[in-house]
Amino acid sequence: MHTNWVEDFGLVFERITAGASNCLVDIVMMGREKCGKTELVEFYFGDHSSYQVEEQEMRVQYTINLSNTAFRIWILDVKDIEFIKLAEFRDKTVFLFCYDVNDPESLADLEERWIPEFMARSMNNMYWFLVGIKHDPNVNQSTVNGTNRRDGKMATRERVKDLLKRFRLGWTIECSLDDRDSMANVFQSVIDTVYPRTTVN
């Protein structure tokens, strides 16, 4: 019954029929510096034997090869926003607009800079969603960057709803380094978006 599916590194993939070419999953992560992009990739994939990091012009490139599926992840920081105008993206690239759930400024950055820049390029055959990082399971009342974490989080939630509507962004996924399943959820959502599941049973 489940023979069409393979699990690898906590992610589920449809098994490829013999002779078919490997699946490619291209991800572009952007958002304010320090919102947690790098560690999301490093913590999730860093232990995999195929994990490679390469500093390239305007971006850092990560490659990870799981069974039948190759990930290519580019991380862009705010200083690299020009890159969006210039870069060639492969079909079906998934863009992850990342923010820190405790930092409304990081969401403002998406709203004012990254998303408009991205939307200005009309791109067919691309997918995108929001990723809220540092959604830690054990939130305490300690302050981060001078703001109360819980207040920051509530304010951010409201703005996220707005953004989703305004830019037709689809959905948001929250995750934390302290919750491996939540990180898997981000990457599984990417896989399922690019390769929708074809069999139900």
Ligand X SMILES: Nc1nc2c(ncn2[C@@H]2O[C@H](COP(=O)(O)OP(=O)(O)O)[C@@H](O)[C@H]2O)c(=O)[nH]1
**Site residues for ligand X per CB under 6 A:** 33-39, 133-134, 136, 176-177
- Tell me whether residue 30 or residue 173 sits nearer to Mg ion (CB atom): 30
Task: Choose the contact partner of 133 out of Mg ion, ligand X, none; CB within 5 to 8 A by kind.
Answer: ligand X
CA dist list (Å): 113 to 63, 75, 79: 27, 16, 11
Instruction: For the CB of residue 117, give the shortest distance to ligand X in the complex, in Å.
Output: 17
Query: Of 69 and 106, which CB lies nearer to ligand X in the complex structure?
Result: 106
In the region spanning residues 19 to 48, those forming contacts with Mg ion, defined by CB under 5 A, are 38
Measured between alpha carbons, how far is 102 from 17 in angstroms, rounded to an integer? 44
Instruction: Pick one of Mg ion, ligand X, none as the site partner of residue 136 (Cβ within 5 to 8 A by kind).
Output: ligand X
The answer to whether the beta carbons of residues 93 and 27 sit under 8 Å apart is: yes
Q: Which does 182 bind (CB under 5 to 8 A by kind): ligand X, Mg ion, none?
A: none
User: Which of 155, 72, 176 has the alpha carbon at shortest distance from 107?
Assistant: 155
Smallest separation, CB 43 to Mg ion (Å): 12
Please state, in angstroms and rounded to a whole number, the distance separating the CA atoms of residues 37 and 11: 19
Say which entry of ligand X, Mg ion, none residue 177 contacts (CB below 5 to 8 A, set by partner kind). Answer: ligand X
Long-range contacts of 15-21 (CB under 8 A, 24+ apart): 15/68, 16/68
147 forms part of the interface with Mg ion (CB under 5 A)? no
Q: Closer to ligand X at the Cβ: 98 or 194?
A: 98
Rg (CA), the chain: 17
- Site residues (vs Mg ion, CB under 5 A): 38
